A = this chain, B = another copy of it.
Amino acid sequence: MHILVIGGAGMVGRKLIERLARDGRLGGTPITRITAHDVVTPKLPEAPFPIDTRVSDLSVPGEAAALVAERPDVILHLAAIVSGEAEADFEKGYRINLDGTRHLFDAVRMIEGYTPRLVFTSSIAVFGAPFPEAIPDEYFHTPLTSYGTQKAMGELLLADYTRRGFFDGIGIRLPTICVRPGLPNKAASGFFSGIIREPLAGQEAILPVSEDVMHWHASPRSAVGFLIHAATLDGASVGTRRNLTMPGLAVTVGEQIEALRKVAGDKAVARIKKVPDPVIETIVSGWPRKFDAARATALGFKAESSFEEIIRIHIEDELGGKIAD
């Protein structure tokens, strides 16, 4: 089985390729090759099969056709300009997130008799406030960012191209990924990970919102699990509604902090500094808090059931099991 990962240099892409290298197979079928594509060279793990890298811009005409010319059996499309950048650079966001996705879908469409499984990572940013208490699977998409708009358009294309038989698509709306490894960044959502990651590493973290802010989380390990399940799921069981809200965990910032206390003690919690930021409070108030991800759950997608579990996964996968004193 040949797998193409588009966006292979990103955090989730890298972890996905590591997992596939470890498993050596996908849905019971041995992997013979992975092609890892991104705009920068992906860092690759050791693997029992060859991994090629391709570096190009998917939005340049012809690049998508070159990528799929060898007819990979499974395509995982994770590449995107993130929310903040797509908001700051209107044209770049549409060029990569909408046109790049459409180029990929069209490149697959143009190859006769080729209908690979194609997994598209969408986002809960397709939803925009106001919301019901828990957002059901049938709730409409009124994104309040250009990024969310581009993802919602990608979902519509995916469903139509699948209905037409051009490929066998599954779109998955990822929760906010927590705990995101790496350095603190300036994303408005950064603090959800920062208030866990920094204290566990002995660093101070800033909390810019009040403790009653609720949000929808899943670990990086779950995100990889969603991608693998979406890549191997029986398409017929999904029907015509091809885009799914992934399961996750709805917790308040206060519950995040209490989970940190249980796992790492008062000393870790004391490293969280409350510095209210009205700008971030306002941005976050427009975000979804909680979903009823009934369809994805029924289809076998699984996320964490406690925030302590999310913290423990971070400690295992990123900190070699050790936390700062």
Contacts and interface: CB of A to CB of B under 8 A. Distances in A.
Interface string A149-162: 10011001101100
A138 interface: yes
A90 B110 CA distance: 12
Contacts of A139: 138, 140
| Oligomer: number of copies | 2
Contacts of A262: none
A282 to B, nearest CB: 14
Nearest to A286: B240
Contact of A144 (B128, B144, B146, B240): B240
B157 A149 contact: yes
A241 B129 CA distance: 10
Contact of A160 (B143, B163, B241): B143
Interface residues on A, range: 20 to 34
Nearest to A151: B156
Interface string A95-125: 0000000000000000000000000000000
A160 B156 contact: no
A322 interface: no
A138 B135 CA distance: 11
A120 to B, nearest CB: 15
Contact of A149 (B140, B149, B160): B160
A199 B163 CA distance: 38
Contact of A152 (B128, B146, B156, B241): B156
Contact of A241 (B138, B142, B159, B241): B142
Nearest to A166: B90
Interface string A256-290: 00000000000000000000000000000000000
Nearest to A154: B153
A140 B143 contact: no
A141 interface: yes
Nearest to A243: B142
Interface in A136-184: 137-144, 146, 149, 152-153, 156-157, 159-160, 163-164
Contact of A140 (B141, B144, B240): B141
Interface of A: 90, 128, 137-144, 146, 149, 152-153, 156-157, 159-160, 163-164, 240-241
Given A141-B141, A152-B156, 17 more contacts: A90-B164, A128-B240, A138-B139, A138-B140, A139-B140, A142-B159, A142-B240, A143-B159, A143-B160, A144-B240, A146-B164, A149-B156, A149-B159, A149-B160, A153-B156, A153-B157, A156-B156
Top 7 nearest A-B pairs (CB, nearest first) are A149-B160, A140-B140, A153-B153, A149-B156, A142-B241, A138-B140, A152-B156
